[in-house]
Structure 1
Amino acid sequence: MAHAVRTVTGPTDRVVVVGGGLAGLSAALHLLGAGREVTVLESDAAVGGRVGSYALGHGRRIDSGATVMTLPSVVSDALGAVGLTPGDTTPPLRFDRLSPAYHARFADGSALDVHSDSDAMVDEVTRFAGTDEARRYLALRTWLAKIFDAEFARFMDANFDSPLDLVSSRGALRDLTRLVTLGGFGSLGRGVARRLTDPRLRRVFTFQALYAGVAPERALAVYGAIAHMDTGLGVYFPRGGMHTIAEAMADAVVRAGGRVVTGTAVDALTVAQRRVVAVRSGADSYECDIVVLTPDEQVTDALLAPHGAAPRRRSRMAPSAVVLHGTVPSELAASWPVHRHHTIEFGSAWERTFREITGRRGRLMSDPSFLITRPALSDPALRIGDREPFSVLAPCPNLDTAPLAWRELGPAYAREILTTLADRGYRGIDVHFDVEHLDTPQTWLERGMAAGSPFAGAHVFRQTGPFRRRNLIAGLDNVVLAGSSTTPGVGVPTVVLSGRLAAERVVGPVSATRPQSRRRAVPGASRRGGEVAGAANN
């Protein structure tokens, strides 16, 4: 760390982690590695949170949340805190690098494979938009890599006690100066547009702003780091599905002597003299010296409010999404224009689409874009007879900006999505896609996500870096936050990092591997993942 940061005071031997998602499991592993006694309490029947799963027919499962994995090294670091590798857990983790990372389809009929390998991408851009644009792509790639290198240690992998931490040391000031020089605090959209002339390519390197909850023109260029992780460092998929990451981490917690208790919703904190002394779930009470809270902001604040420790102002939330999960006939899917693990199906509108879903008066997309996931193309073991798992994600406004009646609207909007896709060449999808689970802002809200958004607080300037909700709580001396609502923010690698940052608030700095913008290591075991093991330890 470039500067000393505050840690909790008092005893730290017994830790209760509330939430068995990636943030909570990461915090648990780092705390166990530092010699603490750790219990993880998860309200659902299984661990995972935003990387959980839904049951499908024939005993198979489909990922219920994130489908894009970057920086798998952060998972390896968490497992390494207790002396394990990805191959040591049950299930063992094997991360396969996707090539291409995405397939992009545009309304004019053109299409592009998005490769993280620079040579492959140069060839593809040359085919798609010519040699001059390929040279401009290389300049863009270099710029995004420089932003990532200048930003990672200072913004993503660091605790903040104050915005002054950004200039608290010579190294901090140097990195901040580099970011300013690179234009990191300007507009991401304009920064990309200055380097690329093809409007279709500009979309490929700015759609990631949606993860941060803002339109590309309003997103800070520092969030080009997300685009670099996607398009430069690589997108990965763990065999068996994204949910196996949480299952493997939970298994590692148990192997290291911790406890993971599922089906246990925390409903209150017992506080004495500014310290939480127990976490309560119904009639059960779990005594503790430290509490790490990882649920979404809405749930965390409900636990803190009775003790006067909840913030007075709620965060501005990111847009939401409607997601259709189910199965399709493999033979029919082979005739669709979706021959990659991830396909981005762009509508003709772009700026208007972002205005519709991110504006203060949100509206459904008038010309929608979709993220389509067909994971069995990467892992054939996911097929179910002659069918395979299939998901369609459509961004939409959250419930703060558009309080729509999703219980009634959801099924009708799902049908509209499938009709739109059928018109775009996915013939028969409106008939043969067996939608077994439909998520809308209402279902996200019912799972405790503020404003019905699975993307948590938007990364507007006042909620970025040192201005994002801190992971120490004013008014309570032994409570630490982790997860997407706090630093460093939204995304699979960032929430895993947030767990380590939370652990550092308890035990001080822990070692970790810093990813390199040009490194191509692929961590993981050599054997396939197996069945899910029980994560509870009595």
Structure 2
Amino acid sequence: MRAPGTAVVVGGGITGLATAALLAADGWSVDLLEQRAEIGGRAGSWEAEGFRFDTGPSWYLMPEVFEHFFAMLGTSAAEQLDLVRLDPGYRVFFEGRDEHLDIAADRDANIALFESVQPGAGGALAAYLDSARHVYDLAVQQFLYTTFESSASLLSANILRNGPRLAGLLTRSLESHVAARFEDPRLRQVLGYPAVFLGTSPDRAPSMYHLMSWMDLADGVLYPRGGFTTLIEAIARLAEQHGARIRLGCTVEEVRTRPGGRRGRAVATGVTYVDATGARAQLDADVVVGAADLHHLETRLLPPELQTYPESWWRKRDAGPGAVLALLGVDGALPELAHHSLFFTSDWRGNFDDIFGNATRVPDPASIYVCRPSATDETVAPAGKENLFVLVPVPADPGIGRGGDDGAGDPAVEKAVDAAIEQVASWAGVPDLASRVEVRRTIGPADFAEGLNSWQGGALGPGHVLKQSAFFRAGNVSRKVEGLFYAGYATRPGIGLPMCLISAELVLKRLREDRSTGPSSEPAA
């Protein structure tokens, strides 16, 4: 086990904050450098005229991952957050159909729902969710929390016993896995859509990821009252309580190294950065953790000869989707929408091909997501008004443009948002929605590229296609620079808030030389 020393964490999103907190709690002297004036990264917030918007993640899934993370810091989710269980978990609207489906907060109710849509689908869903839970547990025990430093993680009795089944789940698509069990296109869409959470499409995601349906159809969807900014604030607070120093307005320009590592490698010695006053400075450290965009860290902060993932590597990778976002403050109530609402087009395959295919374009119509946190949380909008977050999946392409306030974004971005507002108005039965919008801010792929250094303007990170899943995903340590570690959505285990927390823990496990496959041991209460 490596003795704690000094560490610099680059990036103040959830991954960087979580890494800083875990390392500080383990005895490291930690400085976190964030280039922007506020923490949170993608999980940011914006306020205007009494509305407060989350600007990124809005689904609280895998609660046991959050519980474990907080336990590692001597606390609990209940102590840090005010969590609410959503029922319905989400509502789904379908193009060309008047009726919507409400996905309930528990397994049995969803089995009954599926049976009401398609006779026999209830029993099929019960078996599907049993399988999803089995694979989910296997993933947590064997894949998500392992650094893959040792081949033993792939040769355990549990893996060998499930080998043939896992091979089938890895080589068959999620789309085909669902289609073999369900006939109704609406049910197929409900079960296939979790691929989007993974940055890909149902026909590109391995069927192993049917495990995602356990999270929303059986485990349920939670929401932290006050929004996801309360999660960011809680982690930052814990990091500082354990001694980490968070420095805002500090843009890292270089990971500093020296020769002399083992097998001819370099050794990380700290970073060079520009502080909030514009002054250039250096910070020495025994360990550097890159928790910002991996492409930016590798190709901009290191010379070519020290890059584990050079530009040539990225040219062979799938960037996942981009997004056009709209933050809308709306006058009057919107009971037609649940806290989470999904709008699915009938041309399912064409929609995904527009985003991930060879000839990409902004889908029209698009399958979109709308979050109405004011359905649950009175703190995010003035009385008598509603808060809407609209996400339109688009290709990862900064050329689509930037957003802006009150329609001032680039034409393609504003056109996509106008179409989404009209779609919600028509499908959900709110014909005057556009005229009731009082606050409007849009965000486009170019904003992700410029504000977050996001590779190709992607919104989520490299998609979970087979070649970018599990041990095929970018690792958490540089192969060229000793003492340089990586964490975040582009690295193992992958996309999403829970995965980012686990990624932070993988750095801790590396430093502890812990090669176990499951979650780290929690300290005594």
* Both proteins in one fold, TM over 0.5: yes
Q: In structure 1, what is the Cα distance between the partners aligned to 2:480 and 2:194?
A: 36
Equivalence for 1:464: 469
Equivalence for 2:436: 432
Deviations 1:239-290 (A, max 9, x none): 1001111110000011112211222221112211212212222222221101
Q: Structure 1 counterpart of 2:92, which letter? A: A
Are 1:81 and 2:72 matched, yes or no?
yes
Equivalence for 1:159: 147
Q: Structure 2 counterpart of 1:76, which letter? A: E
Q: In structure 2, what is the Cα distance between the partners aligned to 1:508 and 1:86?
A: 27
Q: Structure 2 counterpart of 1:392, which letter? A: V
1:37 to 19, 23, 29: 29
* Deviation for aligned residue 1:130: 4.4
Equivalence for 1:18: 10
Does the CA-based 8 Å contact 1:362-1:398 persist in structure 2?
Answer: no
Report the aligned-residue RMSD.
2.3
Equivalence for 1:136: 124
Q: In structure 2, what is the Cα distance between the partners aligned to 1:155 and 1:209?
A: 18
1:180 to 167, 179, 183: 167
1:287 to 261, 264, 284: 284
Q: In structure 2, what is the Cα distance between the partners aligned to 1:94 and 1:414?
A: 32
Deviations 1:462-484 (A, max 9, x none): 11111111111011000110000
SS of 1:205's equivalent in the other structure is helix
Equivalence for 2:329: 327
Rate the CA distance shift 1:31–1:13 in 2: closer, same or farther, 3 A: same
Deviations 1:211-257 (A, max 9, x none): 22322122101112223222222211101001111110000011112
Are 1:192 and 2:178 matched, yes or no?
yes
1:249-260 alignment, distance < 5 Å? 249-260=235-246
Does the CA-based 8 Å contact 1:11-1:289 persist in structure 2?
Answer: no
Equivalence for 2:382: 384
Equivalence for 2:426: 423
Are 1:101 and 2:101 matched, yes or no?
no
* Deviation for aligned residue 1:123: 2.7
More displaced stretch, 77-86 vs 499-508: 77-86
Does the CA-based 8 Å contact 2:145-2:518 persist in structure 1?
Answer: no
Equivalence for 1:56: 48
Q: Structure 2 counterpart of 1:294, which letter? A: A
Q: In structure 2, what is the Cα distance between the partners aligned to 1:232 and 1:418?
A: 31
* Number of positions where the alignment pairs a residue of Structure 1 with one of Structure 2: 494
SS of 2:482's equivalent in the other structure is coil
SS of 2:42's equivalent in the other structure is helix
Q: In structure 1, what is the Cα distance between the partners aligned to 2:133 and 2:196?
A: 20
Q: In structure 2, what is the Cα distance between the partners aligned to 1:98 and 1:422?
A: 23
2:110 to 121, 126, 132: 121
* Deviation for aligned residue 1:356: 1.2
Q: In structure 2, what is the Cα distance between the partners aligned to 1:24 and 1:145?
A: 30
Deviations 1:96-131 (A, max 9, x none): 12122111111212211112411211232233x144
Does the CA-based 8 Å contact 1:114-1:231 persist in structure 2?
Answer: yes
Q: Structure 1 counterpart of 2:347, which letter? A: A
* Deviation for aligned residue 1:26: 1.8
Q: Structure 2 counterpart of 1:135, which letter? A: G
Are 1:263 and 2:242 matched, yes or no?
no
Equivalence for 1:298: 295
1:341 to 339, 342, 347: 339
Q: In structure 2, what is the Cα distance between the partners aligned to 1:220 and 1:229?
A: 17
Equivalence for 1:531: none
* Deviation for aligned residue 1:171: 3.7
SS of 1:50's equivalent in the other structure is coil
Equivalence for 1:65: 56
Equivalence for 2:487: 482
Q: Structure 2 counterpart of 1:18, which letter? A: V
Equivalence for 1:441: 445
Does the CA-based 8 Å contact 1:357-1:397 persist in structure 2?
Answer: yes
* Deviation for aligned residue 1:178: 4.4
1:412 to 387, 412, 415: 415
Does the CA-based 8 Å contact 1:29-1:78 persist in structure 2?
Answer: no
Equivalence for 1:529: none
Q: Structure 1 counterpart of 2:377, which letter? A: D
Q: In structure 1, what is the Cα distance between the partners aligned to 2:508 and 2:71?
A: 14
Q: In structure 2, what is the Cα distance between the partners aligned to 1:255 and 1:171?
A: 39
Q: In structure 1, what is the Cα distance between the partners aligned to 2:105 and 2:517?
A: 24
Equivalence for 2:277: none
Rate the CA distance shift 1:87–1:287 in 2: closer, same or farther, 3 A: farther
SS of 2:172's equivalent in the other structure is coil
SS of 1:343's equivalent in the other structure is strand
SS of 2:369's equivalent in the other structure is strand
Does the CA-based 8 Å contact 1:77-1:513 persist in structure 2?
Answer: no
* Deviation for aligned residue 1:396: 0.8
SS of 1:266's equivalent in the other structure is strand
SS of 1:158's equivalent in the other structure is coil
Unaligned 5+ residue runs, structure 1? 1-6, 516-538
Q: In structure 2, what is the Cα distance between the partners aligned to 1:468 and 1:461?
A: 9
Equivalence for 1:399: 397
Deviations 1:443-477 (A, max 9, x none): 11112111111111122221111111111101100
Q: In structure 1, what is the Cα distance between the partners aligned to 2:196 and 2:47?
A: 28
Q: Structure 1 counterpart of 2:419, which letter? A: E
Q: Structure 2 counterpart of 1:52, which letter? A: G
Q: In structure 1, what is the Cα distance between the partners aligned to 2:143 and 2:490?
A: 15
Q: In structure 2, what is the Cα distance between the partners aligned to 1:194 and 1:44?
A: 48
* Deviation for aligned residue 1:201: 0.6
Q: In structure 1, what is the Cα distance between the partners aligned to 2:143 and 2:502?
A: 11
